[in-house]
Amino acid sequence: MRLSREELGALFDHLVKRQRPAVQPDPAAVDAAYDEAEGLTQGRPEDEPAALFLALARRSRSLGPIARAAVPAAAHAAAFSIGLDLFRDDAELALDRLRVVRQAIEWQELRALFAQRLRPIGTGEITPPRRPR
């Protein structure tokens, strides 16, 4: 993964300092998530944001109250680290996290959802397609 364990840890440190949660994220769970994400990507950097999102979302409980910020933020950081911007808004990512928690989405589906919304940094936001009436 291009986003290092240290960077992920630093991101979580920022969120803990900002939110001052009563329960801290479990470092072992964060490590396990990183390992799982590496395994999911199978060397495909473009899958790293989705893989990290999935692996962290599965461990939401172990991340404590910062999970709702940490899981999407980690995906954005992973995207940035490979030169991409993830255009998936906070409400979509909140839904994605719950889908993972509820086991209502598989890896391949999440991977495809994220892949549709990754663009090189600086190329501007994607206009979502209009839903048919």
Partner 1 sequence: MGSAPANAEKDPTPSPAPASDVRLIPDGAILHALQRTDLDGARISAELYGDDDDDELAALVAGTHPCQRRLPEDALAASKQQAARIPTVRR
User: Rounded to an integer, what distance in angstroms lies between the CA atom of residue 133 and that of residue 129?
Assistant: 12
Angle, helices 107-115 vs 90-101, to 10°: value is 170
Contact between residue 87 and residue 101 where contact means Cβ atoms under 8 Å apart: no
Task: Choose one: 24-32, 39-47, 71-79, 109-117; the region binding partner 1 (CB under 8 A).
Answer: 71-79
Determine if 72 is a binding residue for partner 1 (CB under 8 A): yes
Bridge partners, residue 68, by sequence: none
Determine if 119 is a binding residue for partner 1 (CB under 8 A): no
For partner 1, the binding residues (CB under 8 A) are: 3, 7, 10-11, 13-15, 17-19, 21, 61, 65-69, 72-74, 76-78, 80-81, 85-86, 89-95, 98-99, 101-104, 128, 131
